[in-house]
Amino acid sequence: MKNIAVIGAGTMGNGIAHTFAQKGFKVQLIDVSQDALDKGLATISKNLDRMVAKEKITATDKDETLNNITTFTTIKEGVEYAGLVIEAATENVDLKLKIFKELNAACPEDTILATNTSSISITQIAAVTDRPHMVIGMHFMNPVPIMKLVEIIKGYNTSDQVTHTIMELSRTLDKTPVEVNDYPGFVANRILMPMLNESIETLYNGVAGVSEIDTVMKLGMAHPMGPLQLADFIGLDVCLSILNVMYEGFKNPKYAPCPLLVNMVTAGKLGVKSGEGFYDYSENRKAEKVAKQFE
């Protein structure tokens, strides 16, 4: 399995492509937008430059990694020789079902179909294909080239052979795969998202401010990043989507998203990606921070 197709050139998709390409796999990076593909490749190149500067890889390693990636704007062309396809599109169930129907028709019969979904049912996604035993979840963590964990999610019909293959493949990437079963949010987000939501509720109820809540969790609980900063980093729209999936899946009010989170997403304040969330990431704000260093 040396040919890997990745659907989606966004944050997760380009990170997955980078990780496989750096390990010598031939990667077909697919997105409907050439602009998204160009941005994805630019991000990979910038991240590789950072690794060269830190002497973790050589300039030759960077060139070889980039040469291992080919881009396509259609699924049919990009998956022709793929042994594994990893879908990393937007966390939207209708979009994922559409993609998997297309993958099922376009891919060779022995191609394993994986999704990087962080919460959506693998069983539901597999059901739109005629190869449900070959559909599996590979939930990488962001940033993909750095984070070691990969949640390997078995759908109801995923075969043991496919699970074993993907577990071993993940290890070749120097990742630590953990096998989990197919329930809303899996393990990582079933535990993480209620904590983030409760942090937002704490702010919403006026218990403390943003920096105070994050400081308590960083210094008191040894978290490397405060929960509100982490929510900004993940994307508040992604957090909302995952909470909604769990709320619908379990029908349990403890997963209901905080009204403040709903309002912020509706207002377009999505965190780092939009320039503002619980913190301000705008260029003017960055300039202010630099100026303060010289006061």
Which among 151, 170, 199, 274 is annotated as catalytic?
Answer: 151
Catalytic annotation present for 133: no
Strand pairing class (149-154; 135-140): antiparallel
- Which residue in 72, 4, 2 sits closest to 37, CA to CA? 72
Catalytic annotation present for 157: no
Q: Report the alpha-carbon distance of residue 160 to residue 164 in Å, rounded.
A: 6
SS3 107: coil
Question: Where do the DSSP E strands lie in the chain?
Answer: 3-7, 26-30, 69-72, 84-87, 112-115, 135-140, 149-154, 176-181
Beta-bridged to residue 141, according to DSSP, are: none
Which among 68, 116, 121, 139 is annotated as catalytic?
Answer: 139
Q: Report the alpha-carbon distance of residue 227 to residue 190 in Å, rounded.
A: 15
Which among 47, 104, 118, 121 is annotated as catalytic?
Answer: 118
Catalytic annotation present for 295: no
Strand order across the 69-72 sheet: 69-72, 26-30, 3-7, 84-87, 112-115, 135-140, 149-154, 176-181
Which among 104, 170, 189, 199 is annotated as catalytic?
Answer: 189
Catalytic annotation present for 189: yes
Residues annotated as catalytic (active site), given as ranges? 118, 139, 151, 189
